[in-house]
Amino acid sequence: MSAPLWTSAEIEQATGGTASELFDVGGIAFDSREIEPGFLFVAMPGTVADGHDFVAGAFLKGATAALVSRPVDGPHVLVADVPAALTALAIAARARMSGKVVGVTGSVGKTSTKEALAAALERRARGRVHRSVKSYNNHTGVPLSLARMPRDSRYAVLEMGMNHAGEISALTRLVRPHVALITAIGPAHIENLGSLDGIADAKGEIFQGLEEEGVAIIPANTPQRDRLIRAARRHAGETITFGAPDAEVSALHFVPADGGGSLVTARLVHCELTFTVSQRGEHWVSNALAVLAAVEAVGADVAAAGLALADLGGLKGRGERHRVALPGGEALLIDESYNANPASVAATLKTLATEPGRHLLVLGAMRELGTHSDELHAGLADPISDAEVREVILVGEETQPLERALSGRAEVARVGSPDEAADLLLQRLAPGDAVLVKASNSVGLAKLVERVAGAGR
């Protein structure tokens, strides 16, 4: 029988709280909708709703106990401050874990890279690889992800995100990674950080939490490369670059693979490897190089990792592909609805360009671009034209500059909501079409994907 995730005594010791009775839990959640039998429900305070209001419902769903700051009916640990207690539990989880930890951040591709890296490590440590779920990568998500980490994990892959300077600095000191990986630097969150250099500095904070003799993995194909290397060398025992031809980890050559994706021969630090990455696009070649650099850095099996990269399925909201049944045939719907910034939009448009048939684009607003928003939205006109997109549906006021920039280059319609965009797309979609759906998550285009993908069922 496997050990519990936490005992009541361990929670007491970690948090300084008081348990109402003895119990064991097998999981943790602070969203009552995620509660499963045997879980600990963390009653987080909130500006809209207080988690304590959902304790009774969590028990009805099978929660074993709750972490609370006021007494409740049912097994619980009473603490002075629930968020602080969750952080304390995260620190205790990291302290008892004797395996290797990889921290991942970046402007583009951090969640996809995290998922691919976890799958790669799972090949030789089945059932003993822990990772952040969803995009739990902020000041509450990272402590939750750590607190969920089983004590016998051989590897953990934890994602860290930020909106402002200083946030990753705090998170990485909780995670204490043996390997810190930055996927890419791009203009995401430029509204708050002012410049690409500012973004690089904020992402480079991840190196501050590195364990002694830790490894920093840095994208070589960015103008901020040397800036990141300088930041890394203050904390890392080794610095590895990836992506560019002169990097320590690079693609010697790659060609399209049968069925999509790429066949890649890569030079790693200690060997060369030929492998297939199932995901389409040059950006996924870069992601794969980052994954292999991290696998090698933690001493895991790179050959097994190459096999895992060949077997990656589509990630919801990050490249998942749907076949939409239509009268007379079907269309391809590429779901990139979870996130968008200029770099990721340009990368996924290159993928769309390789698809047969008529190319359509549903593009929602890119958020957190601040005073650069108009310029960066309009700057997508050339990548859209290069991908031979014939029809564009734009969603949101922020896309007006792009609408103007595309005048005379494509048929463009701008709407105000995902529902309007879905209506228009369903009117225009024809057999043989390939449509890319891309937006910042807050735009809500996941609803469009769900509706359109299910239209032909």
At residue 418, what are phi and psi to the nearest 5 degrees? -60, -35
Residue 456 has pLDDT above 60, yes or no: no
CATH number, position 197: 3.40.1190.10
Does 171 share its domain with 34?
A: no
pLDDT at 91: 98
Q: What is the mean pLDDT of residues 21-30?
A: 97
110 is in an annotated binding site: yes
**Alpha-carbon distance values, 119 to 187, 198, 223, 302 (Å):** 28, 32, 30, 12
Does 69 share its domain with 124?
A: no
pLDDT at 379: 95
| Element (DSSP H or E) covering residue 115 | helix 110-122
At residue 2, what are phi and psi to the nearest 5 degrees? -75, 155
Domain contains 87? no
Q: What is the mean pLDDT of residues 106-118?
A: 92
Last residue of a domain, one of 265, 282, 310: 310
Q: What is the mean pLDDT of residues 41-47?
A: 91
Inter-residue contact 131 to 102 (CB < 8 Å): no
Domain contains 315? no
306 is in an annotated binding site: no
Tally of domains within the chain: 3
pLDDT at 233: 97
Q: Could you tell me the pLDDT band of residue 317, with boundaries at 50, 70 and 90?
A: confident
Q: What is the mean pLDDT of residues 261-278?
A: 95
Does 152 share its domain with 272?
A: yes
CATH number, position 52: 3.40.1390.10
pLDDT at 118: 97
| CA separation for the pair 125, 60 (Å, rounded) | 35
pLDDT at 81: 97
Does 299 share its domain with 242?
A: yes
Question: Is the pLDDT higher at 259 or at 69?
Answer: 69
Encode 95-104: b = buried (16+ Cβ within 10 Å), e = exposed: eebebbbbbb
Q: What is the pTM of this model?
A: 0.82
Domain contains 145? yes
**Given the structure tokens 């590895």, which residue do they identify?**
240
Residue 1 has pLDDT above 90, yes or no: no
**Given the structure tokens 């693609």, which residue do they identify?**
251
| CA separation for the pair 290, 436 (Å, rounded) | 25
142 is in an annotated binding site: no
| CA separation for the pair 295, 287 (Å, rounded) | 12
100 is in an annotated binding site: no
At residue 362, what are phi and psi to the nearest 5 degrees? -110, 115
Percent of the chain with pLDDT over 70: 98
Parent domain of 342: 320-453
Q: Could you tell me the pLDDT band of residue 457, with boundaries at 50, 70 and 90?
A: low
Inter-residue contact 265 to 86 (CB < 8 Å): no
Does 426 share its domain with 353?
A: yes
111 is in an annotated binding site: yes
Q: Could you tell me the pLDDT band of residue 189, with boundaries at 50, 70 and 90?
A: low
| Nearest to 445, CA basis, from 347, 342, 367, 335 | 335
Q: What is the mean pLDDT of residues 171-180?
A: 98
328 is in an annotated binding site: no
8-state DSSP, 314 = P
pLDDT at 367: 84
Lowest-pLDDT range of 34-43, 108-117, 190-199: 190-199
106 is in an annotated binding site: yes
Domain contains 226? yes
Does 283 share its domain with 239?
A: yes
CATH number, position 330: 3.90.190.20
Does 305 share its domain with 407?
A: no
| CA separation for the pair 190, 385 (Å, rounded) | 25
Domain contains 418? yes
Inter-residue contact 51 to 42 (CB < 8 Å): yes
pLDDT at 400: 95
| Nearest to 339, CA basis, from 108, 83, 165, 24 | 108
Domain contains 52? yes
What type of residue sits at position 417? S
Percent of the chain with pLDDT over 90: 80
pLDDT at 344: 86
Tell me how long the chain is. Answer: 457
